[in-house]
Structure 1
Amino acid sequence: MKKLLLIVLIGCASVGYSQKIGLLMDSYVVERWLNDRNYICEEITKLGGECLVKVAEGVAETQLKQAKELIKAGAKVLIVVPVDIKEAVKVVDYATEKGVKVIAYDRIIPTDKLAAYLSFDNEKVGMLQAEYAIKNAPKGNYVLMNGPKSDYNAILFRKGQLQVLKPYEEKGDIKILEDIVLEEWGELNAFLEMQEQSLTLTNEINAVVAANDALASGVISALGDESVVKPMYITGQDAEIRAVRNLKKDLQDMTVYKPIKDLAKLAAKSAMKLANNESINELKYTTVAGVKVKAILLEPKVVTKDNYMETVVADGHVTVDELVGLEKE
């Protein structure tokens, strides 16, 4: 009986001492972020930790407040999707003072105090978008549609796009009619901007290099008429369900798939290692936003109507049932 009681007490103690990992999200405006949260928390739980989640709803000041709350609640590591990369430095500074390690998740926080930066090669994302646009629309008029400068990824997407497109512009093969940088991510912002462009531009648009699928959806909705949309080459990113549907309908021509399940699992495992004072051997120094940080950058993949079954469906990112359900709408 005493032995059984001792085993029960040991079991309770191990549960009581599970590592707490804080997850600070920006918002769920873009479809993918809810999936990131779920994958991260599932993996942390599987590894014996506890995932504490806070969502800032796009307000940087709220995110700092939430960081303090999670640290007070016992979080040993913070995984942060920053609202504003400059303001998020305050989160890292505060956490460092309290002995808490910070992982910047998919968006850089420009400080050398980071324990790790886990993301994809985001400049390559922009390059892939532009390369596939040029392949399909080698001549004509282009519109670029990117997210806010407060998200450094948006800067990298645009940098990659221009690296590919500028030589073609200099040769006179293409003309960039508009280089749009939105105030924030979201379909509505892209819809309003593209609606205005379609009313004011007299030139035919041959390609819209949209940085993600939400912006692509806004562009498609603004143009409305399929006879206008289909001859136009439209890019995206995130492989959202609606984007894959649009690929199948020839309304969108490509999306860049960043296997977020892989990134989420990597973040969860890395956070648990840091919480247990273990090293992350895969980390390599790289310079991002002018700051040298320890990082792991995964490779993005191009998805089209020809390979979505072998990529996003095969990975379980999108299911056939979801696509069939959407087609019945």
Structure 2
Amino acid sequence: MAAKGYVKLASGHQMPLVGFGLWKVPKETAADTVYNAIKNGYRLFDGAYDYQNEKEAGEGIKRAINDGLVKREEIFITTKLWNNYHQKDIAVKMAKWQNEQWGLGYIDLYLIHFPVALKYIDPAVRQYPAWWLDDAGTIETERIPIHETWQALEQVVDEGIAKSIGVSNFQAQSIYDLLTYNRHPLSSLQIEHHPYLVQPELIKLAQENGVVVTAYSSFGPQSFLELKSKRAEDAPLLFDHSTVKKVAEAHKVTPAQALLRWAIQRGIAVIPKSNNPDRLKQNLQVVDFDLSQAELDAISSLDKGLRFNDPGYYLEKKPLRIFAGGAGDSAASQ
């Protein structure tokens, strides 16, 4: 039985239902941002090699530990293996390297970031953000099966580098396949999840198999406006949607709190980010009120299959159509 505000993973470890997402947190401010989030009550931090701020985030946590604000065992670190490091021996080395960057002794949850392998790049000399290999925006895939990468993550658990493992941005077929050969449990599936992209069948599949779902981009287009995403710019903000506002007003909470409660009341963990101290606190205050089934259904009915984090859409020179055939794969969402 998980403690209030926590969910139990298939590995047996407990994970907070509300965490702090480190995507787009500048490395220059990451240590202070994380330290202040801990002061405000956050215990789960969701990172990735791709965010390029693991070392600094770890420094913020170590400062909080040294100041007596928290103990290491009270902190839950999620991080992810990037696409250029799927080869088994490289993936294990990468996990060790990332663990050293965090400097906290171990990783709580280690995920495969995307179900696609790309050409290797030396992590110490990476020059380009996200998917690209060079100035021209070149992308090259590699012939490395997910089976091999998952075996690397299992070795990471065997060696005590990570306590739990999982996947991110996987769809149903890949999950069913993984469940035919996994030796360690698939503890978590992290996906884009908000009222414009509900993915109910994928969530049912995960939960039926004991896989905890973590939602990223819980506020929908809000997370992508600064990236100049046309899909986000064309989508009405969820904070301003009449359905969300009506639910929020009924419970005397903010639209952001209503959106987060909609997820966690359905057993889905969330990892919002905010630089605003008041919103930081508000985002944690979502475990002490309940939405009615009618309110949950009303928010879910906003589903448009509208996916914002889609490399089949924004990688124009070489689209990687990992979500083809799934939610968000329609002309209407272009």
TM-score of the pair, normalised by structure 2: 0.32
Largest Rg, 1 or 2? 1
Which structure shows the bigger proportion of residues in helix conformation? 1
Please state which structure has a larger fraction of its residues in strand.
Answer: 1
